[in-house]
Chain A
Amino acid sequence: MSTLLQTLKPATPRQTINTLIVVISVVFAVAYPFIVEPAMVGVGFVALIYAMRNFTWNIAGGLVGLLSLAHVAGFGIGAFSVAILTWEHGINVWIAIAAGVLLSGLVGVIVSLIMSRFGVNAFFFALGTAALSLAVAGIAASWSVTGQVNGLQNHTSGEGFMKLQWFLDPKPLYYVALVILVLIVLFTVWMTSRTRFGRSLPFIREDPDMAASMGIDVVRNQALAMGISMGLTAIPGSLIAQYTSFVSYESVLTLEIGILMLVGAIIGGSSTLAGPIVAGIGIAALEEGLRSFDVTSSSVSSITQIVYAAVVILILRLGADGIVPMWNALLDRLFPGRGDEEPRPSETSTKEEPAHA
């Protein structure tokens, strides 16, 4: 955290305000389970999961510009690896999560390499990855190992950190999700600012041909980013499986989840790191707000999805970049002056932590 603050030291008013927001958000996120009633902690956990999967999607989707719908397969792989390895065969849950991450990452690398090998454009990339996700869902729905249409139920007993389950109190799982989210964000910040690989990613997104002519291995870097992105997407899948103790192809492998990751990242602002997190928290807050308005629970998720879709259409229609870039532009307008000379607008708001659920 301190190194992060140092990088922000030559502060414009916007950077100061955003840093302040990040610090307040982190403090709030840590204190959150103790200041709300217990039932709301689960909502916070779900918000973190939304934020995490939007964020991990964005590593490939926003940073490199790969409009992937295969990520839901990664999410499902994460959930099913826990369900199959831990619930059915009693393997340690952390090993199962690691296996899910590796398998999902491998799928990501292979998908990206195959797509690059055949030089498909963005549209065929989206369509091909969608077809892949649907195929995976169909296999999960008819394969006995994945529980077919009935899904898999968690019957394991024992709780604690090594089991990654707590039966009555969702607080520990909330903190596990929070810590993992922070680690993923810090890793991404480090990757995109300190490594040659990470810094090449926006370059590839903006102009792959130019990037290639500058000596960047576009195909390899795209594949690596896709692998990292999909691998990390398995983690929220595993966590949500541990939380709900039930996994079926309908709950974790529907293409709608993949679309929501894409839409969420774009609403928040896919060129920023904070955007997907803000959108993830926002959607969870919206769901909870609707629930308090006495809407039936099946309608709640439907309404939030419609709002989500309407917002993203509106943002694109107005030609805006998403919530966080709009927020930055607003700050720049409110505090003109030094902020005008801002050299790298997309990276200044590096990080923002879950604020509210």
Chain B
Amino acid sequence: MLMQIIVTGLLQGVIYALIGLGLFLVFNVMRVVNFAHGYFVLIGMYGLLWLDPGSLPSYLLYALAVAAAAVVFGYVIERWLLEFTLHKPGHAQLVITISLGIAMQYFFQIKFPEPYQTIANPWPFSSVQILGVTVSAGRLMAAIISLALTIAISWVVYRTSLGQNIRACSQSLPGAVHVGINFPRVYRSTFAFGAGIAAVAGALLIPFQPVSPHYGLDLTIKAFILVVIGGVASIWGTVIAGVLLGMAESAGSVFISGSLTSSVIYLMFLLVILIRPQGLIVRKAAFA
């Protein structure tokens, strides 16, 4: 029982962490409250559902294609809908991203009226035993790829010049402008990057996670939970929060009913917002 909780929680948590990372970058660098982030995950899920890959190579190829499409979509959204709100007061960006999410949700609702679909398992094996727990191939591979991507993202953020620019804009926008960073371009690439990550996560989820249009809002809120609980200081806070959320969910689903589990998680999250809006896990103030 305990192993079951730990293994499934860990595997789910790594994917949550990947989704949370996309939001973390956007939230932290641009200070944009992207309520559409969960729906970017749905682009990946529904994209693969629509393309319906039959084999592993086509699955991987389609996943990349969907991610590329999401990157373009994210770029366009940032350029045309969000950029003009960035340095204005008011709630325009919040309302715009919420509305965008709603529009996408109902678009998927029309396009894919049948809820809770998945695609056939694209991996060459069906399930494995880990520490006495049976894990489906999709779940295991999704977690492994998520972990690899998380490490790759941390490499991009902490080791490349793009990452340096991203962190510079996050720490001090006037400072970044002062040293000649083209911040609108950094913002656009960050947002596009975040959307792409979300779509990849969706592509990884679809072989074992049935998709319905409501799932987007759920994922948005969960991603925010990770970012808020993880704190703004480091991407590892978000990753740890993702694993914790996965564990909490799998533990909750064993002991109480599913919807009550999410209620408890949401209420605990509300508490965190109130008591420590700067985050629980990482306490240092700088994203460096």
Give A residues with C-beta under 8 Å from B.
Answer: 67, 114-115, 117-118, 120, 122-124, 126-128, 130-132, 134-139, 141-142, 149, 254-256, 259-260, 262-263, 266, 298-299, 301-303, 305-306, 308-310, 312-313, 316-317
Contacts and interface: CB of A to CB of B under 8 A. Distances in A.
22 contacts: A67-B94, A122-B94, A123-B33, A126-B91, A127-B221, A127-B228, A128-B273, A131-B266, A131-B267, A135-B263, A136-B263, A141-B260, A142-B257, A256-B217, A262-B95, A302-B106, A303-B110, A305-B103, A306-B110, A308-B99, A312-B96, A316-B96
Interface in B58-96: 80-81, 84-85, 91-92, 94-96
B102 A259 contact: yes
B259 A255 contact: no
Contacts of A303: 106, 110
A130 B228 CA distance: 14
Nearest to B260: A142
Contact of A135 (B33, B80, B102, B266): B266
A128 B260 contact: no
Most buried by B among A132, A142, A312, A313: A313
B79 to A, nearest CB: 12
A313 B100 contact: yes
A310 B110 CA distance: 16
B57 interface: no
Contacts of B91: 67, 122, 126
Contacts of B96: 312-313, 316-317
Nearest to B262: A138
A156 to B, nearest CB: 28
The 5 closest A-B pairs by CB, nearest first: A138-B263, A309-B103, A309-B99, A302-B106, A135-B266
Contact of B99 (A134, A137, A302, A313): A313
Contacts of B55: none
B95 A312 contact: yes
B286 interface: no
Nearest to A311: B99
A118 B99 contact: no
Interface in B240-288: 256-257, 259-264, 266-267, 269-270, 273-275, 277
Contact of A138 (B80, B259, B274, B275): B259
A142 to B, nearest CB: 4
A153 B217 CA distance: 28
A306 B221 contact: no
B270 A118 contact: no
B270 to A, nearest CB: 5
Contacts of A316: 85, 92, 95-96
Given A134-B262, A260-B102, A298-B113, 8 more contacts: A126-B91, A128-B273, A131-B267, A134-B221, A137-B263, A141-B259, A263-B99, A305-B105
B35 to A, nearest CB: 8
Nearest to A124: B273
Contacts of A122: 91, 94
B103 A310 contact: yes
A259 B102 CA distance: 8
B98 interface: yes
B110 A266 contact: no
Residue of A135, A256, A263 most packed against chain B (CB within 10 A) = A135
Contacts of A141: 259-260
B107 interface: yes
A331 to B, nearest CB: 25
Contacts of B191: none
Contact of A139 (B80, B84, B221, B263): B263
- Counting chain A CB atoms within 10 Å of each CB, the highest count among B256, B264, B267 belongs to B267
Q: Which of A130, A136, A309 has the most CB atoms of chain B within a 10 A radius of its CB?
A: A309
B274 A306 contact: no
Contact of A306 (B106, B214, B228): B106
Given A306-B106, A309-B100, A309-B103, A142 B263 contact: yes
B109 interface: yes
A123 B107 CA distance: 26
A164 to B, nearest CB: 30
Nearest to B269: A131
A157 B202 CA distance: 49
A127 B95 contact: no
B187 interface: no
Given A114-B274, A122-B91, A135-B270, A306 B107 contact: yes
A207 to B, nearest CB: 11
Nearest to A133: B266
Interface string B94-128: 11101110110111011001000000000000000
A262 B99 CA distance: 10
B224 interface: yes
Contacts of A299: 110
Contacts of B98: 259, 262-263
A309 B263 contact: no
Contacts of A127: 33, 221, 224, 228, 273
Contact of A123 (B92, B94, B113, B266): B94
Residue of B33, B106, B261 with most partner-chain A CB within 10 A: B106
Contact of B266 (A118, A138, A266, A306): A138
Nearest to A115: B274
Contacts of A123: 33, 94
Nearest to B274: A118
A139 B100 CA distance: 28
B222 to A, nearest CB: 10
Nearest to A296: B113
